Amino acid sequence: MGQKIQAVKGMNDLLPVEQKDFQLTAPLWQAFEETVARWARRFGYQQIRTPIVEQTGLFVRSIGEETDVVGKEMYTFSDSNDKLSLSLRPEGTASCLRAVVEHNLLYNGPQKLWYMGPMFRRERPQKGRYRQFHQVGIEALGFAGPDVDAEIIAMSADLWKELGISDYVTLEINCLGNREERAAHREALVAYLSSHEAKLDEDSKRRLHTNPLRVLDTKNPDLQEICNVAPRLTEYLGEESLAHYERLKAMLDGLNIAYVENPRLVRGLDYYNQTVFEWTTDKLGAQATVCGGGRYDGLIEELGGKPAPSIGFGMGIERLLLLVHEYGSLSYRTAADVYAVHQGEGADLQVMKYAQQLRAAGFDVLQHSGSQSLKAQMKKADGSGARFALIVAQNELSDGTVTLKDMQGKHEQTTVDAALLTTTLQQWKNA
C-alpha cells in the first residue's frame, strides 16, 4: 500500500459530512453560495470571476509592499517559461480592478460587482484562520459616496439578517481621510512614536517606519498608554472628509444600523482612504473580523485606469459559516426526495427509467447502485434520509406497477400502476 498523502496545512477539504476538527460541510457551503448569489442579485450587483493567479506586481502595487499580506504571506513563484513572478491571490480587490481596467468596464459607467472564491495567505493556521480561505467580495466602482458607503454596509447587514447572525456581529467604522490628511497625520504620528521609540516592541519599531498607523493596532498591553494619547487621525480631517463621514453616520442612523466608532480602525491593506469598516464577533476567539472593507478612491488610477472613486468589502466565508453553524439559521437539505430500490433481472433498468421520469417532474432521486437484498436496500433507503422509497421488484416489473413507501409513515405503503407514479408521489409530497 502506498503512503497516504495529506492535504496542505491550513487548507481544508469540504466533505458531505462534518469532520472532527472542522464543522463546515459542502451542503452548508452550497446553501451559503446560493444565498449569496440571490442576495447580490437583489441589490443589483453583477458577478465577476478572475483567475486565482496574477502577476505579483499587481498585489505589490495595490495592497502595498510593506503590508504583512504582501511582505510575508503571499505564495509567490516564478513561471518557469518566462521568469515572470506570479502569486496566488491573497484577496480579490486587486484582481477585480485589474480586470475592470484591462477590459475597460468603466467606459460604460460605474459598476457594481461581486465575486466569490479562494484566496491564499501563508498565515499561522488556527480556528477561523486558514492558508486557503474563501471570500465573498463586493466592489462598487466609480461612486464617490457617501450614499454608496451606506448602501454596501446596509447590504452586509441584510445578509447577516438572512443568515440569522445579526445578534452576534458588531459594526465598527472609522474615517481615514484623504491622501493629504493622512500624510499630515502620519508625519505627526511618526514624530510622536519616535520620541517613544525606546519603549516600543520589535514589531512596533519595524512598523514605525513602514506602516506607523498599524502601531496603533497593537495588542501589546504595555503600549496601550502610548497609543491612547498618540495624535489622532480625526484631528487632521478636513471639512470634506468630515462631511462625508457625518453623512454616512446619519444614513446608518436612518437605516437603523448600529455602529461603534473606532478611531483606531486602520485595516491591514494600504489602499484605503476615507470610510473604513469592519464587522467583528466575540464568538470566534482571536479571529474576530468576519468582514472588512472601505474606500479606495485612488486605486483604480494607480492600476492604470481613469480615476474612479470606489468602495468595497470582503467577508471570510469560513468565519461566517462557523458563526452560522453555531448560532445562525441557514436551512439546507442533504437527503434526496426518493430512494429507488430494485430487485430481479431487468428491474435495475426499469427503475432507472422511473427515476428519470421523477427527476423531470422535480424530484431528487437517489438510485440504489449494485445488487443487494431488498431488505438491505430498504435499510439504505432509511439511512439516506429520503422521504419516500420507490420499489421495483419482480412482481412490479411483470405487472407494470410500482410500490411506494412513505418513510415517515404518513401514508400507507401502496402498489399502483406505473402511470400513477409521479402523481401519487406529488400528492404525498404536498399532503
Binding site for ligand HAM (CB under 6 A): 91-93, 121, 123, 129-130, 133, 135, 137, 139, 268-269, 289-294, 312-316, 318-319
Residue nearest ligand HAM, Cβ-based: 316
Nearer to ligand HAM, 300 or 315 (CB): 315
Cβ-based neighbours of 343, under 8 Å, separated by 6 or more: 371, 373, 374, 377, 392, 393, 394
SS3 273: strand
Nearer to ligand HAM, 318 or 337 (CB): 318
d(CA 113, CA 92): 11
Residue 113 C-beta: closest distance to ligand HAM, Å? 10
Nearer to ligand HAM, 185 or 319 (CB): 319
Residue 156 C-beta: closest distance to ligand HAM, Å? 11
Q: How many CB atoms lie within 10 A of CB 174?
A: 23
Nearer to ligand HAM, 22 or 428 (CB): 22
Residue 358 C-beta: closest distance to ligand HAM, Å? 41
End-to-end CA distance of the chain: 53
Residue 282 C-beta: closest distance to ligand HAM, Å? 14
Nearer to ligand HAM, 142 or 314 (CB): 314
d(CA 16, CA 418): 33
Strand 46-47 and strand 111-120: the pairing is parallel
Nearer to ligand HAM, 123 or 406 (CB): 123
Q: Please, which residues bridge with residue 170 across strands? A: 280
The binding site comprises 91-93, 121, 135, 139, 267, 271-272
SS3 171: strand
Phi-psi region of 238 (alpha: psi -120 to 50; beta: other; left: phi over 0): beta
Which cell numbers hold the place of 130? Answer: 486558514
Residue 150 C-beta: closest distance to ligand HAM, Å? 15
| CA distance readout (Å), 184 to 78, 264, 379 | 39, 17, 73
Residue 323 C-beta: closest distance to ligand HAM, Å? 10
The binding site for L-histidine comprises 91-93, 121, 135, 139, 267, 271-272
d(CA 119, CA 316): 10
